[in-house]
Chain A
Amino acid sequence: MHANSTLYARRRAANFAFIALSLGAALFGLVWLAFILGALLKDGIAALGPHLFTEVTPPPGAEGGLINAIFGSVVMSLGAVLLGTPIGLFAGTYLAEYARHGRLSFVVRFVNDILLSAPSIVIGLFIYELIVVPMGHFSAIAGAVALTVIVIPVVVRTTENMLLLVPNGLREAAAALGAPRSYVIKLVTWKAAQAGIITGVLLAIARISGETAPLLFTALNNQFMSTDITKPIASLPVVIFQYALSPYEDWHKLAWAGALLVTATVLTLSIIARLLEKKRT
């Protein structure tokens, strides 16, 4: 009896320690989130102002904003989404609709999942070799293509996942009405998976709007406003990187303001994507 009660006490103690540890783990995660967001809000809001949206990035010691960087980020992200979404959408459609169990699909799926987590700096090197070297100089086009390479796998994955959720009955009913395969896909399954596919595109935008590494030696940077896509262009993440590592106090402030803008964009997009997803289910 005595042995039993000590064993029982030991098991209870182990259980208590286990609960305390996992509670501690959850708190640990949340504390970092609060720590990071807190610092971001404190330093970011202090540096916010209308000048961010009206003036270009300044030389050290001068007043300035981030408009050229914001513009560059928007242009390259837009280019990447316009280029990457159709490719990702079609590739995901092929995987889910045409060759679900094919050998090619197996390989594409495998490679796509690798690309999804591949180091983004390597993608920068790839585009450098592919576009920057032949062109002879850095350009907004190269930056946009580098971001496209990041967009494609995200869209492929979500498109395939969403199309797989569409019940086969819908496809069969449409086919029974005499619709050719491509009509079934375009008018029925894409429609049914619409919200999910849009979610995927939003997540892809969220992903690229903070990407820095692939832009460092594709789009480079530009201190001035540039609308020429064959020339180097500024982007928010690269400006944050450059300004944060500089010794100038006012550049640090601009870096924090940029960081706040990027984070706000990313979090807003993820929350919208989440709401869309919830509406669907």
Chain B
Amino acid sequence: MTDITLQEPAALTSRAHKARRAGAGDTRFRLVTLAAACTVLLIFMGIIVSLVHGAMPAFKAFGFSFVVTEAWRPVREVFGALGPIYGTLVTSAIAMIIAVPVGIGIAIFLTELCPRLLRRPIGIAIELLAGIPSIIYGIWGLFVFAPWFQTAVQEPVIEALDGVPVLGTLFGGIPYGIGIFTAGLILSIMILPFIAAVTRDVLETVPSVLKEATYGLGSTQWEVMWKVCLPFARTGVVGGAMLALGRALGETMAVTFVIGNAHKINPSLFAPGTSISAAIANEFAEATSPLYTASLIEMGLILFVITFIVLACAQLMLRTMNKHAAGH
């Protein structure tokens, strides 16, 4: 073995030597890229492991009752996540109810109705809205939107609906300006561009032959959209909406500023509440006891699991859509 390796370099010309070195470098390069790809997996597993590890004390102390308890009393070391979970789900629901129809409307406007000249500028403007950091939505929501919303919307609505069953409870109470509904509204503005952008891209994959054929039969624009384009693009639109829902569930700063940070569940949507992300953002750095920290981390784990499920569904749908589109 040894004498062969001793002879080899002498036998090789410098060019062959270079080629051999390049071959070794080739393997090394491949391994480096493989390691980088595995890093992505490691990060993901690291998140789960570290959250489970950090949440352990809370698991042991409260078990399953953690997710169904509303009480949140740091001083007495009693922690329940029901209030924040409720806040997260309700704010996201409000955001979706507003943003899905409006986002689809924007996408339809951009693909079908908008004059060609305006298409690019409006599309860019909507995408810029997606680029604005969430903390900007938060500070704007707190200083500009909430005071305006308080006097211009909440006060008259509370007055008008006072005494009406159900609606009177949902939109009753004191007009604080901030609260669950305000947070949901600001979230809807934040996720609007995502839904609009994904829906636009999906609508653009509708083959023009389909649209032309439908127009040829004498259909109106509404009928072409509603009966041909949207059904064709359905999976993609739903996938895009799920992607936006994933963002809404985990959004922190825009919500933290305007949700009011109250762990109580109030029947009125105008009342202050809290969400998982807002509770963590507000309380984590000040959490004094290990159990307090662990409870907040367990809420983080719950949030991660919920968003994982939503995002995974979104991905599967968008993938199916892409395969479907590629088939045409």
Contacts and interface: CB of A to CB of B under 8 A. Distances in A.
Given A29-B196, A206-B131, A244-B257, A117 B109 contact: no
A125 B44 contact: no
B124 A129 contact: no
A121 B311 contact: no
Interface in A70-110: 86-91, 93-95, 97-98, 104-105, 107-108, 110
A120 B280 CA distance: 11
B143 A252 contact: yes
Contacts of A86: 36
Interface in B122-169: 122, 124-129, 131-140, 142-145
A213 B281 contact: yes
A89 B308 CA distance: 24
A156 B189 CA distance: 28
A180 B129 contact: no
B32 interface: yes
A107 B277 CA distance: 27
A255 B297 contact: no
A237 B54 CA distance: 26
A220 B138 CA distance: 19
A28 B135 contact: no
A175 B303 CA distance: 48
A220 B223 CA distance: 55
Interface string A26-46: 101110110110011001000
B47 A123 contact: yes
Contacts of A182: 22, 25-26, 28-30
Contacts of B265: none
Given A180-B22, A180-B26, A185-B29, A36 B135 contact: no
Contacts of A88: 36
Contacts of B41: 107-108, 111
A173 interface: no
Contacts of B222: 11, 14-15, 17-19
Interface stretch (B1-9, B69-77, B243-251): B243-251
Contact of B125 (A15, A33, A114): A33
Interface stretch (A48-56, A58-66, A191-199, A262-270): A262-270
Given A108-B41, A125-B297, A152-B43, A210 B134 contact: yes
Contacts of A117: 243, 246-247, 250, 307, 311
B315 interface: yes
A68 interface: no
Contacts, number: 266
A129 to B, nearest CB: 4
Contacts of A180: 22-23, 25-26
Contacts of B134: 210, 212
A115 B223 contact: no
A122 B300 contact: yes
A172 B301 CA distance: 47
B102 interface: yes
Contact of A210 (B114, B135, B143, B256): B135
A26 B135 contact: no
Contacts of A91: 33, 36-37, 39-40
B80 to A, nearest CB: 19
Given A22-B113, A25-B102, A29-B126, A213 B277 contact: yes
Given A11-B223, A24-B105, A125 B54 contact: yes
A120 B252 contact: yes
Interface string A173-189: 00000001111011000
B136 to A, nearest CB: 5
A240 B43 CA distance: 29
* 4 nearest CB pairs, A to B: A210-B133, A119-B250, A25-B105, A90-B36
17 contacts: A29-B125, A29-B126, A30-B126, A36-B129, A40-B136, A91-B37, A121-B281, A121-B300, A126-B51, A182-B25, A206-B131, A213-B252, A213-B253, A241-B253, A259-B135, A263-B132, A263-B133
Given A87-B39, A123-B47, A263-B133, 4 more contacts: A14-B220, A180-B26, A216-B285, A217-B284
Interface of A: 11-12, 14-15, 17-19, 21-26, 28-30, 32-33, 35-36, 39-40, 43, 86-91, 93-95, 97-98, 104-105, 107-108, 110-115, 117-123, 125-126, 128-130, 149, 152-153, 156, 180-183, 185-186, 206, 209-213, 216-217, 220, 237, 240-241, 244-245, 252, 255-256, 259, 262-263, 266-267, 270, 274
